[in-house]
Each structure stands twice: as structure tokens, then as C-alpha cells.
Amino acid sequence: MSNPTAAMLVIGDEILSGRTRDTNTHHLANALTGHGIRLSQVRIVSDDHQAIVGAVRALGAQFDSVFTSGGIGPTHDDITVEAVAEAFGVSVAVRADARAILQAHYDRQGLELNDARLRMARIPRGATLIENPVSAAPGFSLRNVHVMAGVPAVFQVMVASILPTLTGGVPLRSQVLNIPRGEGAIAGYLGQLAGAHPEVSIGCYPYLRDGIHGAHIVVRSSAGAAVDAVIGKLAAQFPEAE
Amino acid sequence: MSNPTAAMLVIGDEILSGRTRDTNTHHLANALTGHGIRLSQVRIVSDDHQAIVGAVRALGAQFDSVFTSGGIGPTHDDITVEAVAEAFGVSVAVRADARAILQAHYDRQGLELNDARLRMARIPRGATLIENPVSAAPGFSLRNVHVMAGVPAVFQVMVASILPTLTGGVPLRSQVLNIPRGEGAIAGYLGQLAGAHPEVSIGCYPYLRDGIHGAHIVVRSSAGAAVDAVIGKLAAQFPEAE
């Protein structure tokens, strides 16, 4: 598949400790798939400077774009900005346009733009701001890395504002068939089908529900007709599928 | 923190495409935290041989133990076993004890142990089997890598059977305080508190709910008294906290 590739980097001790469930990855996965961009890898790392620097470098070199989530707020444990800047060897400073956005936001609320809040105007040199209509503090894009907030409502508006600026590919078509039989009963036929149709990808996802073994078969391709043809063969082979 | 470290490797195109939500990571995170093992990194990679080999090698070298989820079933897209074996340079073959487990399981159900089902008895040389009371097909441990099924019910019993065999550390104590104020209003005090108490970790996790900005403050340490002391200071500073 020649569609553009992407990676997600989630920064957050709270997810690694089990305190919080990460929902941003699932949101991004669906948004990218709809845009014809292939999410190829996800990493979740802790609030650790070197772990973030290493992951940004590795993912930025390997994939067309990288999306990060978390660690850009005003508190002492928000260390993503410095780490991303170091990954690319650039400096960080309070930037006038980011400061003006925050100043206007806090003025409207009658709050002071104190030192902590001003940290959110610290932007790596050469970055482009990502708008945040929810809570003002901007994200930023530096080279192919898009740095966004961890709060889901803010993450989602930032994704929505970046996505149209990225070159997408042909969105993959996919269809799902639910076969209420164990994988072992269908694996032989599926393997033959996959061998005969290299133009599609056929995934088999088993489930166990009320003691019944079954499998969802997902057929994917950028060519809709190929998906339809393979789904037709599967439906003929397994009449109980739905 | 000197507790043992671990990584999770999720193998699955269905998660990267957004079709399925990964729930195994959250389950493992809580199980490890309770056992005093620190989940330090998570990676999600696609059903791609080289991606799996690379991730197993990288994580296996960096962390005390690695847990994988997905890709050990009977179908053509189940490629985890071969990839883990290649990561350690060992061969794979149908093993008598694994075959006997499957034979007994399918005999009980009056089903044939066909070629596809027999694939689930293919085990890397030198591995130890992980029991699967739910659906028989075993996982395995090879060196410090524990290879488990992706189906959550099976993943969870496999985690339960491995965990007691691993050396745990002192479980971290943690307490949470909910402060109904924006991060910017509390960040200054939090930073001072974190500087004065290097024996605890203080995380600040903002939320936005019904238009109200607030933050959960999580204080963690292996020393319970230190956690209590810091939570006491926070409660005194922010009387509206709960």
C-alpha cells in the first residue's frame, strides 16, 4: 500500500499505570483511516524526557507524519515541548503570537496570564501553531511532528484542524463478515482465499461470546470491486455468515 | 524507582485501522501496577513480520519483561509466533505437549485437529507454555517475552497465570485529589511542591467537563506516609479539593 503513513505517540504515566484509558489513539485511527492515511505504529511512553526524545526521533524518521498527545500544559510534569524541540535540535522560547492568543483568552476570563500559563506560549523555533478553539493554548507542528493536547476534547479539535492540511491517499474500502464458527474451521479456506487475492488484505478476528466461538473477517483494499468479489466468495462458502 | 519494568506489544491491524479498541493494554497496566511492576512502554504494530521482529528485539533488550497480545491463532494472518522466534534466532516446530493439549480439546468437542488448528501447537524452541483454560491453545514465554492471545478473555487468564511467576516490586501507593480549578491556577504551587518532595511523583491531569476546567492530581510513591503528607498539603492549599 502506497498511502502515506503515520505514527501516534501518547505521552502519559497515567495511561501506563492503568489510571486512565487512552481514547485519543482510537479517535486518531478512525480519522486517519477516513483520510487515506495509514496509522502504522503507536507508542505510549512515560513522562520521561529521554523516552519522549527517543520516540519522536525514531517515529519521525520512519513515518510520514507523527501525532503526539499529552504533556503540553502549564504544570511541572508537562515536558513534551522541550523533548520535541531537543529531538530536532532546536531551541524553545515564548513566542509573541502564542502569547497574544493566551493573553486574549485570559483577559476575556478576567484571569492573570501568570508564569505557569505563560509556559503554554513556549514554542520550538520553526514550528507552526495548531489552533485550539476549546481552551486557547495552541499545539504546534514541527517538521512532520504534530504536538497536541491530551485532553480528548482538545485533541479532537486539533486533529480536525490538521487533517485537511495533510496529503491523504485513496481511502481503503473495507467490509466485514461475521462467521459464527471457530477460526480453526475456516482458516484453511481463508488462507487459500488470501493466496488467490493478493490485491486485498483479509484479516480474521476471533471472538468468544456466550461460549460461542466466531470470527469477524475484514476484507480491505483501495479497490472496492475487489472487496466485493472476495466478500461474495466468503458468503457463498459460509452461508451462515452475516 | 527500582521496581522491575515491563513493556506491552500489541499486534493488530484492526486496532491501527480504528475498527477495534485495544482493551488488553489497560487490563495489563492495572495488573502490573498491582504487582509492583512498572509498565514503561506500549507499542502497537501492524500484522507485519519485520515490524514485530523489530519491536520484540527493541523492547526485550530494554525492559525486564515484555507481554505481547494478538496474532497466535490458526489463520494466515497470525504471524506472531514466527516473528518472536526470529527475534531470538530460534526455530519453530509443532511440539508434542502443545499438540496433546489441542488434541484433547478438539476430541472433547468432536472436532478434527486439522492443519489450521495444528498451527497453534507450533512453539519456538526453548519456550515454556502458558496455559489457556478458556480455549486450550497455549501461549508461551521465550526468554523475557510472554506471547499471549488477543481475545481479551484469553489474554486475561494468561496474564493471571504468568503474573505470580514474575518478581514484583513494592506496589506504588497512590492517592488522587480532584481540584475544580484550571491547571494554570494551581501549576505554580504544584511545581514548588514537586520540588520540595522528590520522594513522590506528582502528576496533574486536566479535564474539561460541562465547561469547567479542573484537574486530577495523582500523588505516587512506594512510601505511603509520603503520599499522605503531600495530599495533606494539597488539601490545605486548595480547600475546595475533594
> Which domains does chain A show, CATH number per domain?
5-165 (3.40.980.10), 173-237 (3.30.70)
Within 13 Å and on the Cβ side, how many CA atoms surround B23? Answer: 8
Q: Where are any strands of DSSP class E within chain A?
A: 5-11, 38-45, 65-69, 92-94, 122-124, 128-130, 139-142, 145-148, 173-179, 201-209, 212-221
Q: How confident is the model at residue A47 (pLDDT cuts 50, 70, 90)?
A: very high
Residue A174, beta-bridge partner list: A220
Within 13 Å and on the Cβ side, how many CA atoms surround B206? Answer: 29
What pTM, to 2 d.p., does this model score? 0.92
Interchain contact, B202 vs A174, CB within 8 Å? no
Among B15, B78, B184, whose Cβ lies nearest the Cβ of A116?
Answer: B184
Confirm or reject contact between B115 and chain A (CB < 8 A): yes
pLDDT 10s digits, A66-97: 999 999 999 999 999 999 999 999 999 999 99
Interchain contact, B29 vs A40, CB within 8 Å? no
C-alpha R_g of chain B: 22
Predicted confidence at residue B171, as pLDDT, reads 81
Nearest to A14 by CA among A56, A43, A42, A46: A46
Predicted confidence at residue A37, as pLDDT, reads 95
- pLDDT surpasses 70 at B1: no
Nearest to B14 by CA among A180, A230, A39: A39
Query: DSSP code of B76?
Result: T
How far, in Å, CA of B78 to CA of B47, rounded? 8
How far, in Å, CA of B234 to CA of B238, rounded? 6
Other beta carbons less than 10 A from residue A104's beta carbon: 11
CA torsion angle B139 B142 B145 B147 (round to 10): -20
CA angle A39, A42, A44 (to 5 degrees): 155
How far, in Å, CA of B139 to CA of B150, rounded? 11
Percent of chain A with pLDDT over 90: 88
Closest chain A residue to the Cα of B41, Cα to Cα: A45
Which residues of chain A does B204 touch, with a Cβ-Cβ cutoff of 8 Å? 73, 75-78
Interchain contact, A185 vs B111, CB within 8 Å? yes
One-letter amino acid at B9 equals L
pLDDT 10s digits, B77-130: 999 999 999 999 999 999 999 999 999 999 999 999 999 999 999 999 999 999
Instruction: Give the DSSP H or E segment for A98.
Output: helix A96-109
How many contacts (CB atoms, under 8 Å) link A and B?
A: 194
Interchain contact, B29 vs A13, CB within 8 Å? no
One-letter amino acid at B145 equals V
| ipTM score over 0.95, yes or no | no
Residue A43, classed as helix, strand or coil, is strand
Closest chain B residue to the Cα of A59, Cα to Cα: B43
Interface of B with A in 74-113 (CB under 8 A): 74-78, 106, 111
Name the percent of chain A in helix, strand, coil, to the closest 5. 40, 25, 35
Q: Which three cell numbers stand for residue B222?
A: 512506594
- Residue A62: phi and psi, rounded to 5, are -95, -25
How far, in Å, CA of A153 to CA of B115, rounded? 48
Q: Which residues contact B25 (CB under 8 A, 6 or more apart)?
A: A22, A44, B8, B10, B42, B69
Confirm or reject contact between B184 and chain A (CB < 8 A): yes
Closest chain B residue to the Cα of A201, Cα to Cα: B77
Residue B10, classed as helix, strand or coil, is strand
- Calculate how close chain B gets to A127, using CA atoms only, in Å: 23
pLDDT 10s digits, A165-194: 998 888 888 899 999 998 999 999 999 999
Among B17, B188, B203, whose Cβ lies nearest the Cβ of A114?
Answer: B188
Confirm or reject contact between A25 and chain B (CB < 8 A): yes
Q: Let me know: does A174 contact A222? Beta carbons within 8 Å.
A: no
Q: Which three cell numbers stand for residue B137?
A: 491453545
Confirm or reject contact between A62 and chain B (CB < 8 A): no
CA angle A66, A160, A175 (to 5 degrees): 80
